[in-house]
Amino acid sequence: MEATKISEYARALYSVHGDKAEAEAAQKARESEDAGNAPEAETWRSIQRAISQLRGPYVS
């Protein structure tokens, strides 16, 4: 998946799931890995990283 699509999908997922979006993407990546679909898992990991960037640094 191209970078712009990953970014769009990350924004949409974050819009729907809020702070839980990163965990949702991680779960989808694990499910894809378990199903033997490495390319899809990598796409989900890219989406997870994009969501992390959207959220910014953690503030305690």
Average pLDDT over residues 21-43: 97
Q: Tell whether the model's pLDDT for residue 59 goes beyond 70.
A: no
- Measure the N-to-C terminal CA separation of the chain; round to a whole number of Å: 34
Q: Tell whether the model's pLDDT for residue 20 goes beyond 90.
A: yes
- Please provide the average confidence, as pLDDT, over all residues in the chain: 93
Q: What does the block give as tokens for 35?
A: 């199903």
SS3 60: coil
Residue ranges per domain, the chain?
3-54
Q: Tell whether the model's pLDDT for residue 58 goes beyond 90.
A: no
Q: Model-level pTM?
A: 0.89
